[in-house]
């Protein structure tokens, strides 16, 4: 009888799992008690996973709630069915009604968060409800997913990645969750991981829409030579906030010259300030073109927090350092980049220039000679040649002075 009363209290509080456990213990008791029939009745309302019986309909639940308006299990089940039927505003109202009876009802809070991050399209409200659910139980995977989805929409890719990764441990085969996790990973700068997550979803046949979304993502984030402007435009028409499509658009613009993509990346970062691939790309372009160096440094430093081992970012930091007169950090950053991924001819020029300014000229001269042999771009080839000539002349003057020889000044 104690289990019966406990189960009924849990049921009326909307706590499905604990209610089911207690009521099952009550009806299995060897001795009868006054409420055994009622215990069986309420137990039949719960299925094996703590939800309402699958045969229940909106009409029958509405009728039940007329008789027992405080039945929170029925109220949340009604909201779930209304949401499945596309009656989203009605579903939200049902969840809200349940929360008036019990503000600490996780299912209602998560349900509202999912509605507002989905069809009701209000990410601020979604975050609000999801945070409340998360505060009730920070180990609840449903609350973690709801909050992860909501903050993903707001562009907090790092936090979204953490939450969705946590939630995915309890649902590794949930393709919808996998897609969300992949998008968070991509926004956080983990493109290889994002593509690895998306690939099996694209190849699966269980959910055609998810497979199509995953396939589109793989196209947008893959080989740029296979990407067309029409494909990017179609993706942006479908979802103007698709980060993969936005970044693909910027990359396509950059094919006409990297500097042409600067305003595109700036517009993207205005919408998603924490989008790591955009931070890294814009910082690199600004560094190479010697523009807005303070802004580029801030962007590169932010991106480095997410991608501390990225060789491209180390290269960018090296170029920014030497452009701003800090030769020793430039050498350190460029050597770090070279260890992780060998520098190309242009990168070697920057390393050589930094070495000339930071220490004995021998290392810098050797690096610049290697760079010239690798055929850098015209402007850097000129810079390398001039630097070598200048260093050699300075070395000759120094050697002559050591011998006590007079050195004639060069004619202007």
Three-state DSSP state, 199? helix
Of the candidates 214, 167, 159, the one whose C-alpha atom is nearest the C-alpha of residue 187 is: 159
Q: Are 347 and 337 spatial neighbours (Cβ–Cβ below 8 Å)? A: yes
Q: Which residue has the tokens 């995953």?
A: 214
Residue 52 bridge partners (DSSP): 46
Q: In the prediction, which pLDDT does 213 show?
A: 95
Q: Which run of H or E residues covers position 302?
A: helix 293-306
- Fold classified for 309-412: 1.25.40
Q: Are 336 and 314 spatial neighbours (Cβ–Cβ below 8 Å)? A: yes
In the chain, where does the domain assigned CATH 1.25.40.10 lie?
309-412
Three-state DSSP state, 46? strand
Distant-in-sequence, close-in-space partners of 311: CB < 8 Å, separation ≥ 6:
336, 337, 338, 340, 341
- For 337, how many CA atoms within 13 A lie in the half-sphere containing its CB? 23
Q: What are phi and psi of 5, to 5 degrees?
A: -65, -40
Q: Which run of H or E residues covers position 62?
A: helix 58-67
191-230 burial, b at 16+ Cβ within 10 Å, e below that, comes to bebbbebbeebbeeeeeeebbebbebbbbbbeeeeebeee
Q: pLDDT tens digits for the chain (412 residues)?
A: 556 556 555 665 555 666 667 666 776 766 766 666 656 656 666 653 334 544 457 888 888 889 888 888 888 889 988 999 899 999 999 999 999 999 999 999 999 999 999 999 999 999 999 999 999 999 999 999 999 999 999 999 999 999 999 999 998 889 999 999 999 999 999 999 999 999 999 998 788 999 999 999 999 999 988 889 999 999 999 999 999 999 999 999 999 899 999 999 999 999 999 999 999 999 999 999 999 999 999 999 999 999 999 999 999 999 999 999 999 999 999 999 999 999 999 999 999 999 999 988 899 999 999 999 999 999 999 999 999 999 998 888 877 777 766 656 555 5
Q: What torsion do the CA atoms of 115, 215, 247, 323 make, to the nearest 10 degrees?
A: 130
Reported as a single tens digit per residue, the pLDDT across 366-394 is 999 999 999 999 999 999 999 999 999 88
């Amino acid at each position: 009888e104690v289990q019966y009363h406990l189960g009924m209290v849990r049921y009326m509080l909307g706590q499905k799992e604990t209610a089911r456990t207690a009521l099952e213990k009550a009806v299995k008791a060897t001795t009868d008690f006054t409420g055994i029939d009622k215990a069986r009745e309420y137990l039949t309302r719960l299925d094996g996973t703590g939800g309402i019986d699958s045969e229940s309909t909106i009409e029958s639940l509405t009728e039940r709630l007329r008789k027992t308006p405080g039945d929170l299990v029925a109220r949340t089940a009604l909201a779930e069915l209304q949401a499945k039927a596309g009656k989203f505003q009605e579903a939200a109202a049902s969840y809200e009604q349940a929360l008036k009876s019990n503000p600490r009802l996780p299912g209602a809070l998560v349900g509202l968060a999912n509605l507002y991050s989905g069809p009701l399209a209000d990410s601020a409200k979604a975050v609000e409800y999801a945070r409340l659910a998360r505060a009730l139980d920070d180990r609840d995977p449903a609350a973690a997913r709801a909050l992860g989805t909501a903050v993903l929409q707001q562009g907090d890719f790092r936090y979204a990645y953490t939450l969705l990764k946590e939630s995915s441990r309890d649902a590794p085969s949930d393709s919808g969750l996998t897609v969300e996790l992949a998008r968070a990973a991509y926004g956080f700068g983990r493109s290889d991981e994002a593509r690895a997550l998306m690939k099996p979803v694209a190849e699966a046949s269980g959910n055609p829409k998810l497979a199509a979304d995953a396939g589109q993502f793989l196209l947008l984030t893959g080989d740029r030579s296979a990407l067309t402007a029409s494909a990017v435009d179609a993706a942006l028409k479908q979802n103007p906030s698709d980060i993969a499509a936005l970044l693909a658009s910027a990359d396509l613009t950059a094919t006409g010259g990297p500097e042409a993509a600067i305003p595109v990346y700036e517009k993207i970062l205005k919408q998603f300030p924490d989008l790591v691939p955009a931070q890294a790309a814009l910082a690199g372009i600004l560094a190479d073109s010697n523009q807005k160096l303070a802004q580029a440094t801030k962007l590169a430093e932010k991106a480095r927090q997410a991608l501390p081992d990225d060789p491209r970012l180390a290269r960018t930091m090296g170029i920014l350092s030497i452009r701003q007169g800090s030769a020793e950090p430039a050498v350190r950053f460029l050597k770090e980049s070279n260890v992780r991924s060998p520098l190309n001819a242009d990168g070697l020029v920057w390393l050589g220039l930094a070495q000339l300014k930071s220490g004995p000229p021998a290392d810098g001269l050797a690096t610049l000679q290697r760079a010239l042999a690798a055929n850098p771009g015209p402007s850097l080839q000129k810079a390398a040649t001039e630097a070598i000539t200048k260093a050699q002349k300075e070395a000759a003057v120094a050697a002559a002075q050591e011998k006590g020889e007079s050195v004639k000044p060069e004619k202007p």
